[in-house]
Chains A and B, each alone.
Chain A
């Protein structure tokens, strides 16, 4: 049992470090003009924590854990919808301009 759980942890750690490296390169490639939308998107996707909240809210009946889970679902949903929508709003402003300039040219 102990060996098994430490193995799981090492796999998690492997995934973690590889993801950090991917994140490092991907984020450096983001153009500085889009750093605000970057925060919007990262904020939205970090709410993937909703996965844990759904698992907690999953079982039938009502206990402490389920209530915490449901609160987690509400909080994460605010972020998911809010984060993606506000990013969408920001990005569509960057879109409008290109069209206009192209028309002008």
Chain B
């Protein structure tokens, strides 16, 4: 009976993910997920060995209240941080469950204290290891996304060598743990894994965060899998594998969006170094500057506008003002669409959620492959808070660090409007030659303020 209920729960989780294939079916999918979780929890509460309902009920209420409070209060622009924070909790929970299983193996029927089955010990320590890495890696990712820690990659000598050594130390500790089952070694594995989690994320810079967040998502799944093997629980194994696969695919999509291998992202240290050298060559080039009225004029006289949002839009919280601008243009009979680069923002799908929040219909929001061939037929590209993802150097300049990265072909549209705070280079540290083209107008200022000003000029 228990096995069957767990199976139902696992199937519901699969349907929950399946539902996300379309916005229409997605809400039903989320409900499937909730039902699956309720079944899983109540099935477990029915176990004969589970007696302390009050304590467990209280724990669920406390956790649930905290989780609900945060989820209902959070600003959509802070979503990447929130997801990172949640991943850290899954990792930590995995560590605690593994520790509980180690201290009371009888409750999980995996042996007795001091004589736990070898297979269970291996699975337990692997679950602990991945859980602890997920925890500390996510905490650091949270700090970088929140801005409490500098988003710049922190690189030091022998970094990768040190990480490799720590990794082998952990394997050695796991072997030792399996042999002597010592609590001291168990906690040493936890501490060293936490250290490794920090070291793995520290060299990775802000704009590579989509990959990191996806990877930690994946890890949290593998941690659940490890615990699933320890408890011989198929539900945990299935769910962990689903989550693990999901995170892995997202990481793959994100690194492909930057034309870099996952390894390259993980090794980190990208960007930051080239800033100075790249900007020098262009100091004598002329930039055409404009203001909100110019932008309003250019767009008003166009037939079609494609808006390209980037992380800068999220920072400035400009999505609502931007949508307002789009609405006015649409009323004028102008075709307005949005082009989303796979790595725009700080997490997969970040821009889509922000535009959805601002009530932009999702039919108007298109992915790179869907819209890229339309740029030559488009009169105005309105780039707001994005830079590297539009840089033609990715196609032409083999020496550029972003060479080979798929870009949105805004340079093919008749004119380009760039909303930027300053002439600073993007995350890659590469200068964007688009800024100096004749058909480009730079709109310097805060993204939100600029959109509001354009709205004012359009309405007057």
Contacts and interface: CB of A to CB of B under 8 A. Distances in A.
Q: Name the interface size band of chain B.
A: 35 or more
A53 to B, nearest CB: 5
B92 interface: yes
Interface residues of A, number: 86
Interface string B345-370: 00111101100110111110101000
Contact of B227 (A49, A59, A69, A96): A49
Contacts of A8: 232
A89 B119 contact: no
A38 B20 contact: yes
A90 B380 CA distance: 30
Contacts of A82: 66-68, 70-71, 82, 86
Given A55-B44, A64-B103, A36 B347 contact: yes
Interface stretch (B10-18, B411-419, B435-443): B10-18
Contact of A49 (B17, B213, B236, B365): B236
Contacts of A72: 93, 96-97, 100
Contact of B23 (A19, A39, A94): A94
Contacts of B340: 32-33
A80 B360 CA distance: 29
Contacts of A5: 117, 119
Given A34-B352, A91-B26, A92-B27, A42 B347 contact: no
B17 A75 contact: no
Interface in A3-24: 5-6, 8-9, 11-12, 15-17, 19-20, 22-24
Nearest to A74: B63
A43 B134 CA distance: 12
B89 A79 contact: yes
Nearest to B242: A23
Nearest to B11: A22
B26 A27 contact: no
A97 to B, nearest CB: 4
B33 A56 contact: no
- Chain A interface mostly helix, strand, loop or mixed? helix
Contacts of B302: none
Interface stretch (B48-56, B161-169, B200-208, B446-454): B48-56
Interface string B96-108: 1101110110011
B392 interface: no
B458 interface: no
Contacts of B37: 44-45, 47-48, 80, 84
Interface of B: 9-10, 13-14, 16-18, 20-24, 26-27, 29-30, 33-34, 36-37, 40-41, 44-45, 47, 49-52, 55-56, 59-68, 70-72, 74, 76, 79, 82-83, 86-87, 89-90, 92-94, 96-97, 99-101, 103-104, 107-108, 117, 119, 213-214, 217, 220-221, 223-225, 227-247, 249-250, 253, 340, 342, 347-350, 352-353, 356-357, 359-363, 365, 367
Interface of A: 5-6, 8-9, 11-12, 15-17, 19-20, 22-24, 26-60, 63-66, 68-98, 100-101
